[in-house]
Structure 1
Amino acid sequence: MASIDPETLLRDLFDVAVEVADPMQSLARFLPPRPAGRVVVIGAGKASARMAEAVEAEWGPCEGLVITRYGYARLCQGIEIVEAAHPVPDQAGVTATKRMIALMEGLGDEDFVLALISGGASSLLVAPLGEITLSEKQAVNQGLLASGAPIQKMNVVRKHLSRVKGGQLAAAVYPARMLTLMISDVPGDDMAMIGSGPTVGDASTAADALAILEDWDISVPPSVSAALAQGSQVIAPGDLRLSRVTNQIYAAPKQSLDAAEARARSLGFDVVRLGNDLEGEARDVAKEHAQLALATQAKLMPGDPPVVILSGGELTVTRRGDGNGGPNAEYCLALALALNSAPNLWALACDTDGVDGGDEVAGARIGPNTLKKAENLSVDPDKSLIENDSHEFFMQIGGQIVTGPTLTNVNDFRAILVYPITS
């Protein structure tokens, strides 16, 4: 096989995974012919503006409103694109959500609504339940993000503190017909968890949400406890108001890993797939993957094809320090420490939306010289890990991956290159 720089190869695999999930490349074939009569396009998420752009490329100018993350807007012909905050909601999201709900008023059974939902919608669709204020909603959201709770748990809580999630957006559309196209960013591709399922019924209860808050030791203001005690407005799966809704995932982590695997095999690599839906604490998963990489390398003989270990899913970080980081960068930092400068091993971990945690950094890369670079620059990797300061660590040693907005979101992408030891 031709010699390929490991860092170049890792970035190529990541770029292939992102490209195949680009709505402009993948959405059109899932669109029906444009329905007759009134058509309204709504949506939310980090990929939603790009999805709206893809819709209008097929259907032409449409009426509608889509909420995306700051910096992720696209120029559309008719659909209005509003930017708001992610991962912690802001007033722009509240105002835009009110306008979206108002747009749904008065729809009849001859009207058609296309909803475009991707990861990030949980923060961008903001309609707090009961007497909960925006600042209180923000505090709960920050507590969830810092707790290390998996995304499914966080989204159950988010649904029951909202007037728009958990099927409530679809209920507002009834009796109009609705098609929801989704990009999955959740392990297992559970439609009810993508963006907290604004168009998908949910069987969880307010008591479930309270239990999650207690289990993960998340303190909440009295308004949240009161709202949950009164019961939420989440829509049950069999509710009549969901009877005219079709929900469909059209892009998911599996397709992106498939594309990366195909590219790696075409270049002469063997591939080990660990799954599209891995979960767990980033630093713990990194230790397991380090052991696997070292064991894989130990079995390789000189001349054997190198191996790419691929995985997707969504890891979490429990905040222990006051540093600046995200699950992908923390995974890479913990992986570098666990590999301890072992030769012929390189890795990359990035979020396919270009945002690892809350920063404009997709993730990081490591290699056999990562710890040596840190030593030469007097950067302490152990201290950085303790303080959850992985972004700062990789910025100082030149290991950050910065993509800018990718306009899609199919969760985390991880790749470890394992080459035989030649001497």
Structure 2
Amino acid sequence: MATAPDTETLADPLDAFRVEAREWLAKNFPSSLKGKDNAMSAVEGGSEPTADEVAWKKAMGEKGWGVPTWPKEYGGGGLSRAEARVLQEEMGRIGAWNPIGGMGVMMFGPTLLEYGTEEQKHEHIPAIAKGEVRWCQGYSEPGAGSDLASLQTFAEDKGDYYVVNGQKTWTSGGQWADKCFALVRTDKTKKHEGITFVLIDMNDPGVEVRPIRLISGQSPFCETFFNDVKVPKKDRVGEEGQGWTIGKRLLQHERTSLSGGGSASRLLGGTPLSKLAKQYRGEDAEGRIADPDLRMRIVRHEMDTRAFMLTMRRAALEAKANQGPSAASSIMKNVGARITQNRAELGMEIMGMAGLGWEGEGFSEEELAQTRTWLWGKAVSIYGGSTEIQNNIIAKRILGMLDHQ
């Protein structure tokens, strides 16, 4: 007599993981946080986290699912790409969000996994995976923005340590950061080959941070000064003079994050433009946005957004298959910036005069937020490498175009 098939043996392993993820999320994700969209990982300081937010962050950090595909030995989830997608689907199903983020996850962590020593990985990656340490980026300088390789912050060799002197600017979240990954010059006779990648404790003597107030009214960026700051050589990543190579790799991770995960919340979050337009511009007899020209432009924007998000998903899968992001991240960064700014412009147009408020009782909270979002969005095409710089990278590394002699 034939026996019934063993359903557990024949089941798709992803189905088993889906059940595991669903049960774990049901047990650990507080329903009060549904749909909050990763508020704790924002660069801006914000308010103190609630007890539920703290508990959720701790649970995800201990599970390693804040960085699901990072190796378990360093505190990551150790999941396959397919399992990570399932986890994301299950989180989306219940309105859960990832509370582990920031520059440590977006940029520094992936770079250290590739270039760091075992000691450095074990020292820094677990704290990033648990969201216990905030990192900031020490790249741009007052005289070295687009031409980053002209940086002058100097690290003088003192045997077992360097003494760092110089200034960085546009240091995102510098006033809240615990650590800084920075490019410094160790050889003044060479341009690219004279740059080294080091890690600096932001609480060390000689580190001074001054927030920069932007036209949006926020201060997410800072000036950072290093005055005789001692940096042990154990906190150098890679070899001396290898900083430009490592720094470029990190920028690829940054551009991928800015165009993908960062843009996702900006492009898909908030009130849909179609709903906003009906609220401020009215509807026609068929329930459509009354202004046909505006209606068409919103449709085009939404089509561009969806196509961009799907392309980003494909590019992310290809990047993982090819052992990391490629120069294509420059294309995604530019497209993401354009779509983000276009959304802000449409929002302002839809609200009209109501979208121009700065403060006062005559404006709703959403209207005031729209003003600041529009102003803040002007920086999207600059930070992470300006649009012009990305165009140069695309021309040289993707299209194979050479400089004219």
Fold in common (TM above 0.5)? no
Q: Which has the higher helix share?
A: 2
For normalisation by structure 1, the TM-score amounts to: 0.23
Bigger relative contact order (CA 8 A; separation at least 6): 1
